[in-house]
């Protein structure tokens, strides 16, 4: 049944992860491989482990176990297959802990003995670690964990979502955030690890506590909790089958990643032919060539994102709407803009006159290029005081915009922080309708994004990481300027101007902003372009929502299939 539905599981969002979880769940509940009545019962294995532990206790090599209470039916996590038995982890071995050797003792560090911490617990089997200690650290009381023990993270933020485990392939040491289960029968180590992985959700829900700073396992309850233990021979069969199926999951995952990469390349190449068009006639021809395959190209939300960016590219190159020979040349618009700026003696013009550099593509005949500083005015940024987190509950409160308020062609007023009552607001930097905003500082992928404020609540102030400006009079539509800043050659200039020491914090200067070259066309054509882009973006939003809903349905079907198999119910 699983094999017949692998395509559903492999292509559903999170499907392969759910399949892995299902495999582990079935394995530790005795549903993955058949039981063999010839196997020696697990109760005999438990007796042998008990005998070996008693021998080690008598020799003084391990401590005597604490008395354990009886197993209550309400604590059992599943039904027990024939030949299996209940066992606590403390019955299978002895737990030991670790610590951090003194960092003031240089002789304890940079040795050849692994010292494993949660950051190393990214693989199922470990033979090394990021940090290593010397024999002197071991001699000072740092426990040396024998080979083929089961290492478990018991204190870490990762316990919100996972319980990392590993089997050490060399003798190692651990820090205080781990416990090691040392096994008298090391051959069961891989199955014990699989047991913890299979009951991971159960452990997270029932045996983990949330602290004020970090999550941790309720260790005493965890160590003494009963889990199902199969016969030794069946453990081997289970481990072998799980490894086979996990390799299949790896293959499905790799196939899905390869298909996603290939699909993205295909979408980029084919939609790239649209932006490579040099004339409206070429665009029409290329559009018809690929339009019949849109059902294959636009089958995932990421592809729609590429289509939307393609629409913006076509818009700012003058290829999205037909040219009207009755429109005035852009040079006339620029002449009026210059007259307006020259006539405003209150705002002396900052000259941005530069020679137009080599442009990567030609604009339509009646278009031209102009520098942003010649088209806008009142450029400036805001203020970023220490603020309270969260949205304001009272509209009379003042707040400061986050940079996330500025999205590509979209203003999100709810993205803000509230200024404390002890601070006085600065009304002069309040965001107003008609403002053009662009992010000037922050992470690489957040800088250089622009939007137009067409509607906003009051008492929202600019951050100092956002630059605001206005178009001169009504000659340039703010929505068109924003389109130009978010696509085409202008966007390329913005990307090239970003500077900073690291990708996490870059910036763009206002002088650079003024110097960026922007495409200019008549106001009438600007209006047609803005209207057409808005129509096509609404179509993209609708298509993206449909695809997301389809993926959600597929994910629910995959989850239902997994749950049905896990519960052992028949599938219609």
Position 569 scores a pLDDT of 43
DSSP state of 101: P
Helix, strand, or coil (residue 320): coil
Position 190 scores a pLDDT of 96
* Per-residue model confidence as pLDDT tens for the chain (572 residues): 555 566 666 677 777 888 888 889 889 999 889 899 999 999 999 999 999 988 988 888 888 877 777 666 666 777 888 999 999 999 999 999 999 999 999 999 999 999 999 999 999 999 999 999 999 999 999 999 999 999 999 999 999 899 999 999 999 999 999 999 999 999 999 999 999 999 999 999 999 987 666 789 999 999 999 999 999 999 999 999 999 989 988 888 888 877 778 778 877 887 788 888 777 777 888 877 777 777 777 778 888 888 888 889 999 999 888 889 999 999 999 998 888 877 765 554 454 557 888 888 889 999 999 999 999 988 999 988 888 777 787 888 899 999 999 999 999 999 999 988 888 999 999 999 999 999 999 999 899 999 999 999 999 999 999 999 998 878 889 999 999 999 999 999 999 999 887 767 899 999 999 999 999 999 999 999 999 999 988 988 888 888 888 777 777 776 776 666 656 543 33
Q: Which residues pair with 210 in a beta bridge?
A: 215
Position 460 scores a pLDDT of 94
C-alpha 307/C-alpha 287 separation (Å) is 12
Q: Which residues pair with 470 in a beta bridge?
A: 377
Top-tier CATH class for 330-521: alpha beta
Position 19 scores a pLDDT of 83
Residues 87, 130: contact at Cβ < 8 Å? no
Neighbours of 324 (CB within 10 A): 12
Helix, strand, or coil (residue 8): helix
Position 306 scores a pLDDT of 87
In 276-300, alpha helices (H)? 280-291, 294-297
Cα angle 142-143-149, degrees, rounded to a multiple of 5: 145
Q: Which residues pair with 153 in a beta bridge?
A: 178
40-230 CATH fold: Adenine-n6-DNA-methyltransferase TaqI; Chain A, domain 2 (3.90.220)
DSSP state of 152: E
C-alpha 61/C-alpha 20 separation (Å) is 38
DSSP state of 145: B
Position 570 scores a pLDDT of 39
HEC sequence for 43-62: HHHHHHHHHHHHHHHHCCCC
CATH 3.90.220.20 in the chain: give the residue spans.
40-230, 330-521
C-alpha 228/C-alpha 86 separation (Å) is 5
Of 23, 47, 22, 18, the residue nearest 229 (C-alpha)? 47
The pair of three-digit structure tokens given for residue 48, joined into one six-digit string: 């042998």
CA atoms within a 13 Å half-sphere pointing along the CA-CB vector of 419? 20
C-alpha 126/C-alpha 96 separation (Å) is 18
């Amino acid at each position: 049944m699983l094999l017949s539905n692998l395509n559903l599981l492999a292509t559903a969002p999170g499907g392969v992860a759910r399949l892995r979880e299902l495999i582990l769940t079935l394995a530790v509940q005795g549903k993955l491989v058949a039981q063999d009545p010839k196997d020696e019962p697990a109760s005999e294995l438990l007796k042998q482990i008990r005998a070996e532990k008693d021998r080690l206790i008598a020799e003084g090599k391990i401590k005597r176990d604490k008395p354990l209470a009886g197993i209550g039916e309400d604590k059992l996590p599943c039904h027990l297959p024939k030949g299996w038995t209940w066992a606590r982890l403390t019955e299978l071995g002895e737990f030991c802990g670790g610590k951090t050797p003194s960092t003031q003792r240089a002789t304890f560090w940079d040795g050849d003995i692994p010292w494993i911490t949660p950051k190393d617990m990214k693989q199922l089997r470990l033979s090394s670690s990021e940090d290593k200690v010397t024999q002197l650290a071991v001699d000072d009381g740092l426990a040396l964990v024998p080979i083929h023990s089961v290492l478990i993270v018991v204190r870490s933020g990762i316990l919100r979502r996972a319980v990392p485990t590993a089997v050490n392939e060399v003798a190692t040491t651990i820090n205080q955030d781990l416990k090691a289960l040392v096994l008298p029968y090391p051959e069961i180590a891989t199955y014990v690890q699989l047991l913890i992985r299979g009951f991971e959700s159960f452990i997270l829900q029932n045996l983990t506590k949330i602290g004020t700073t970090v999550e941790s396992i309720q260790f005493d309850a965890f160590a003494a909790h009963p889990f199902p233990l199969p016969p030794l021979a069946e453990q081997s069969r289970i481990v072998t089958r799980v490894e086979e199926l996990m390799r299949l999951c790896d293959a499905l995952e790799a196939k899905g990643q390869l298909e996603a990469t290939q699909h993205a390349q295909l979408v980029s190449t084919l939609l790239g032919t649209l932006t490579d068009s040099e004339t409206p006639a070429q665009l029409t021809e290329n559009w018809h060539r690929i339009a019949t395959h849109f059902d294959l190209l636009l089958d995932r939300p990421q592809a729609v994102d590429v289509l939307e960016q393609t629409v913006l590219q076509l818009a700012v190159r003058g290829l999205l709407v037909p040219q009207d020979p009755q429109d005035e040349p852009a040079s006339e618009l620029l002449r009026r803009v210059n007259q307006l700026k020259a006539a405003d003696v209150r705002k002396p013009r900052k000259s941005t006159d530069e020679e137009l550099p080599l442009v990567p593509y030609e604009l339509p005949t009646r278009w031209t290029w102009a520098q942003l500083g010649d088209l806008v005015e009142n450029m400036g940024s805001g203020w970023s005081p220490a603020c309270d987190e969260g949205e304001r509950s009272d509209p009379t409160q003042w707040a400061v915009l986050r940079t996330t308020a500025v999205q590509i062609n979209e203003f999100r007023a709810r993205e803000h922080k509230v200024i404390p009552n002890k601070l006085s607001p600065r009304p002069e930097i309040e965001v107003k309708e008609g403002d053009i905003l662009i992010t000037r500082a922050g992470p690489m992928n957040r800088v250089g994004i622009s939007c137009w404020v067409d509607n906003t609540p009051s008492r929202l102030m600019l951050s100092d990481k956002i630059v605001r400006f206005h178009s001169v009079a009504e000659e340039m539509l703010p929505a068109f300027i924003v389109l130009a800043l978010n696509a085409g050659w202008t966007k390329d200039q913005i990307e090239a101007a970003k500077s900073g020491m690291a990708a996490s914090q870059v910036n763009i200067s206002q002088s650079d902003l003024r110097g960026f070259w922007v495409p200019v066309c008549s106001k009438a054509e600007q209006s047609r372009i803005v209207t057409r882009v808005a129509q096509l973006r609404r179509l993209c939003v609708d298509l993206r929502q449909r695809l997301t809903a389809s993926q959600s349905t597929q994910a629910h079907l995959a989850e239902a299939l997994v749950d049905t198999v896990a519960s052992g119910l028949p599938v219609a």
